[in-house]
Chains A and B, each alone.
Chain A
């Protein structure tokens, strides 16, 4: 399939991007509001075209461990779920990070805690960026804010995942997942050939030839000294990501007196609030996070020096704000505004919060 203009739901875009980006396998379990991902894959039957495997697992626990098994053979493997399912996957995610297995996990967030609601939310920021599972590890976390980004970030995810041998998380929410927007599809990237797989994943368990020692995929190291060395290696990898792989978008930040910091669907709402504020003559900018880990610490700190106040907008009780305050070392007035439990704030509410909490 070539570049083509379509109207598509965010969840469908994820599925189509997986097929188009040469993904080898998808393993998942249905949960609202992301079930369209697997439904689209099953309808498209990519095993008849690209050869991609799609399997409905018995649980999210099985799904993430299937990702582990498949991805550890050096193939491009993905899963998707929504918040409660992602909670179940935390064990698998820390094993994936600990065994340094590249893979793609998509979380289309809904409100919590517990079974919560099926409506959109952004209350999994801590879980995504502060380590949902045990141990010192990080997921490279991308936050798409449009259907186009849902699609494009799948392609980007494979590059990062294999470059760093690390799981990549696309952290979206029910609003972007269910929303339809204009989308430019891309040319298909063929699945790797056997030779490419072996070249791109020399560490993979694809059958030991006589020419190399056996490859072992494990996160176990009983020798503490060696485990410390391994942890230092991970930290070095994360530091390199912080140095090289930060992504963000600064809109109208140059002349801004105030900025809103947001990501995902909140950043769309914030963009509207920014436009409304500018119409009223208030100089507001939007600093949109694209990577949540690595967090654009330096870049935000630079912008923050020039402004009088920062409003953090997130559909949560205030999680991202902690990283914003760390980035700015609390050097500027910073407040949180959010709705939660599946309520999406309106642009008007955001503007009101900016006026009441920051400008006043």
Chain B
């Protein structure tokens, strides 16, 4: 790939956009239009820009991003389903000067791994957790996730999620912001360039915070799952803005250990009215 690049440059092509060196040459298996690819790139850019490629360990989950370790050119561990925060806890405790991050989806982080997530946050583990929320189980074929919206159809809620049967969508990010162990808690998205720029700044901050040793930095990234939602990528992004975002509002919730001014306290106590799909 590098040879081809040189060849093109020699032919006089101008390079306007290139793969960051912290990503490998491996071809990503993600569906076109999915937010995972963009999120991977943002993390890789941050690692590159911070100059920490030789001092970072990532932990990948079970779910769509199970193979994340093939895409990042940094040392990586693949955790059992839901256990990434526990795995990362020990990496960081035993290597306190190494940058450690987890990368998990909603099923991994907010269902099977809820205990590990909450306790890592509550211990104030000095690491970065990236949480990609697309409201569905992508890899296993579109089943209900803890974050699936009320009324939203999935393979296991073919008539739409019902509160009586399945309870409410779980807002892990708001929940974690209430714990004293979290230092930075934010929700971002990657559906357009403006959102991507903000998401990258959030990821950068979440990594930079590890130098401060003041607790967990947690970044939720809202993403579409166009395959699971059975939409085109463009329609999926629109649907995400119309339906996901009212339930999962974008923006910082906690910065430098303090809940952000203007965050409605009601939002943190899970206002049920918000959870009904538009």
Contacts and interface: CB of A to CB of B under 8 A. Distances in A.
Whether the complex brings A and B within 8 Å at their CB atoms is answered yes
A67 B89 CA distance: 10
Given A205-B77, A206-B98, A66 B87 contact: yes
A67 to B, nearest CB: 7
Contact of A55 (B67, B80, B89, B91): B89
Contact of B86 (A57, A99, A209): A57
Interface in B17-63: 24, 53-57, 59
B278 interface: no
B54 A68 contact: no
Interface stretch (A180-188, A213-221, A330-338): A213-221
B99 to A, nearest CB: 9
Contacts of B74: 207-208, 214
Contacts of A69: 59, 77, 79, 86-91
B115 A59 contact: yes
Given A59-B115, A62-B119, A208 B95 contact: no
A62 B116 contact: yes
Chain A CB within 10 Å — which of B57, B76, B115 has the most? B57
Contacts, number: 128
Interface in A59-79: 59, 61-63, 65-73, 75, 77
Given A91-B80, A208-B75, A67 B90 contact: yes
Contacts of A214: 24, 69, 72-76
B200 interface: no
B86 A205 contact: no
Interface residues of A, number: 40
Chain B CB within 10 Å — which of A25, A75, A217 has the most? A217
B155 interface: no
B78 interface: yes
Given A24-B94, A75-B94, A66 B86 contact: yes
Nearest to A27: B90
A58 B75 CA distance: 26
A95 interface: yes
A207 B97 CA distance: 10
A119 interface: no
Given A207-B55, A208-B53, A208-B74, A70 B79 contact: no
A217 B73 CA distance: 13
A264 interface: no
A216 B69 contact: yes
A58 B119 contact: yes
Given A53-B93, A66-B90, A69-B91, A58 B73 contact: no
- Sorting the interface of chain B by its residue count into under 10, 10 to 19, 20 to 34 or 35 or more gives 20 to 34
Contacts of B70: 216
B91 A62 contact: no
A210 interface: yes
A210 B75 CA distance: 11
B254 interface: no
A105 to B, nearest CB: 14
Nearest to B60: A218
B57 A61 contact: no
Contacts of A347: none
A30 interface: no
Contacts of B89: 55, 62, 66, 69
Chain B CB within 10 Å — which of A63, A99, A205 has the most? A205
B153 interface: no
Given A61-B115, A216-B69, A218-B77, A73 B56 contact: no
Interface in A217-261: 217-220
A132 to B, nearest CB: 14
B91 A92 contact: no
A219 B78 contact: yes
B61 to A, nearest CB: 11
B80 A95 contact: yes
Contacts of B86: 57, 61-63, 65-66, 69
A65 B69 contact: no
Given A207-B75, A208-B73, A70 B83 contact: no
B8 to A, nearest CB: 25
Given A62-B115, A62-B119, A53 B94 contact: yes
B54 A210 contact: yes
Interface of B: 24, 53-57, 59, 66-67, 69-70, 72-80, 83, 86-91, 93-95, 98, 115-116, 119
6 contacts: A68-B77, A68-B79, A69-B90, A91-B80, A92-B83, A205-B75
Given A66-B90, A207-B54, A208-B73, 17 more contacts: A25-B94, A65-B79, A69-B89, A69-B90, A70-B91, A72-B77, A72-B91, A73-B95, A77-B90, A92-B80, A205-B91, A207-B55, A207-B95, A214-B72, A216-B75, A216-B77, A218-B76
